Every structure is written in C-alpha cells, then in structure tokens.
Copies of this chain bind each other. A is one copy, B any other.
Amino acid sequence: MPFQLDPQLVKDCHLLLQWPQCHILLHRNAIIPWFILVPQTDYADLLEMPADQREAVLNEAASLAKMIQQRWNLKKINVAQLGNVVPQMHLHVIGRSPTDPCWPQPIWGNLPEETLDYSVTEVQEIRASCSLLNPH
C-alpha cells in the first residue's frame, strides 16, 4: 500500500513538499514556526529506526532547522518525536524564542487558544525556502 499521511496531520498542517526521507509539513498555527517531518517508514519511533535511516531523517530536520533560524531570526530549536496521539511517526521541529507566547514551556498544551494561520503567500514563500535547501 502506498504511504499515506495520517489524516490528523493533514488536517493540522500545510503540506509543503517531499524530501527523500520525509514529507515536510507546516503546522497551520503561525504563532510559532512549527514544522512536522513525516518519514516514509513503518517504524513508530525514531530510536527504533536503523541508524543510517535515522541519520538521513535528522539531516533533513537539521536543514529545516537552519531555514527556520534564518527566516524567523531565532536561535533556539526544539525537536521532539512523541506520537502518543498520532501514531504515524512524525518529528516536530519548532523555532523558539523568549518572546514567543509559550516560552519557556514546550508548545504542546501551552499555545494560546486563538490561532493565526499563514497567508497563501507566506505558505508559498516558506515552501520555496524549503525547496532551495539541500538536505543531504
């Protein structure tokens, strides 16, 4: 069966593009630069993956992190692979700043109730920034 993204992730995110290892998703809540990488794998947890595959996934995450740091002019990146709610493996890569509304807490459960979506232009620009990256 071809790989299919989890419907909850599709609902929560803008689909940006596909890299060799991962689908790159942008969470719709624009209050925080929050990206989700979905590796095309049946493994449920990052630490279960074979080392070479895990490394390839993390190279893509590292490329994305640099783009986030540049575009949003911030230094701090949070990275996490939880998957307690959505079982399909996905890696959160999140740009953080002392001026963001959840700092210093993790974002889960601490985002403001009001959400702010990206404009169509912003999504296009972010997709273009990602497509310029060479994650390997």
Residues of A within 8 A of B (CB): 44-48, 51, 54-55, 58-59, 61-62, 65, 75-85, 93, 96, 103-106, 108-110
* Interface secondary structure of A, over-half rule: mixed
Q: Complex Cα distance A82/B110, Å?
A: 14
Q: Complex Cα distance A19/B79, Å?
A: 22
Query: Which residues from B are CB-within-8-Å of A65?
Result: 45, 47-48
Interface centre among A81, A82, A93, A106 (most CB of B within 10 A): A82
The answer to whether A85 touches B104, judged by C-beta atoms less than 8 angstroms apart, is yes
Q: Complex Cα distance A46/B46, Å?
A: 14
Q: Complex Cα distance A58/B61, Å?
A: 14
Q: Complex Cα distance A51/B51, Å?
A: 11
Shortest Cβ distance from A64 into B: residue = B47
Q: Complex Cα distance A15/B51, Å?
A: 27
- Min CB distance A48 to B, Å, is 8
